[in-house]
Each structure stands twice: as C-alpha cells, then as structure tokens.
Amino acid sequence: MKPAYVASLKIQDGAESSLSQVLSACFSTSEKTYSFLRWPHRVSGIQVGIPADPVCPEGQVFSQQGELRWKSTPHGWDLLYLGIQAPPDSFIPLPGEWRWEDHAADLYGSQNRETRFPKPLSHPQDLKVGQRYFRDERTARVHFIALIPR
C-alpha cells in the first residue's frame, strides 16, 4: 500500500474561496475528471469534467489522482479530499497513517441487464471505473472508498 492524503476543509458562507475555486485548485485542467451531483429528488449521473455550477446539496469530482466530496451545511460547505497527491494547503489533514490501494469496480446501468438500481445510472459509455480504498494503517480499517477512472 502506498501513502495517501485524506483531508478536510470547511468553507463558510461569504468566505474568500468558493467551491468552484477549491475544485479548480484540486484538479488540473489537463486532468480527465468526472463529477456526480446529488439533489434530494435526482442525481446528475456521472458527467465528464468539473461542473460549471457545482452548487447542489452534495457532490463529488474524481480523477485518477483524487476525489473531492462536498456537502452543503447551513453555514457553507464541508469538503473531504481523498488523494494520492497532496491537497491545497488550506485543507486540514485527518489524523491517521493513510494508505491507498486500487480495486476493480463495475458500473451498472442501461448497458447491463442485471438490475442494481431502480433507474439506469447515466454515465459515459466508455467510462471504466475502479475503487481506491483509503485505509488507516494504525487501525487496518478502510475508512473511505473513492471512485477512479481506469
């Protein structure tokens, strides 16, 4: 297992940095990224790129290098970074000796006949995904699982 970065950040309403700015700081423009946005009544499905307007109750952007998750709170945003490269300096590392390892995963949707979701999951047809496990070496427990493109 290889060293990993697990960190968090709180963005207060009216703060200097916005969710869009943090997303831009975490992912380079040359990197292939995907996003998944969630509202109480629907989901976006997996979309290519960083969303132009990421404002929704919950969401995530992922790439081969890392994943950034966010959740709206009454006072702003809570963010969680899971990656194999260090996050921007504004993030606070979570305690632990973090390591990562990749595993295979499978997307189920309209191209698969096996029922897994009530509705087919929208995603690019050529997208192959994997899972990256983030384990704390002190506890030997997997705490987070991130999506990665393969």
Contacts of 91 (CB under 8 A, 6+ apart): 7, 8, 9, 79, 81
CA distance 106 to 26: 26
Taking the chain (150 residues) in consecutive chunks of 10 residues, what is each chunk's mean pLDDT?
94 81 93 94 91 90 97 94 97 98 74 54 80 96 94
Helix then strand then coil, in percent of the chain rounded to 5, is 5, 45, 50
pLDDT at residue 114, rounded to an integer: 54
CA distance 123 to 47: 6
Query: In angstroms, how far is the first alpha carbon of the chain from the final one?
Result: 18
Within a 10 A sphere around the Cβ of 119, how many other Cβ atoms? Answer: 10
The tally of domains found in the chain comes to 1
Domain coverage including residue 141: 2-149
pLDDT at residue 110, rounded to an integer: 46
pLDDT at residue 126, rounded to an integer: 80
pLDDT at residue 2, rounded to an integer: 92
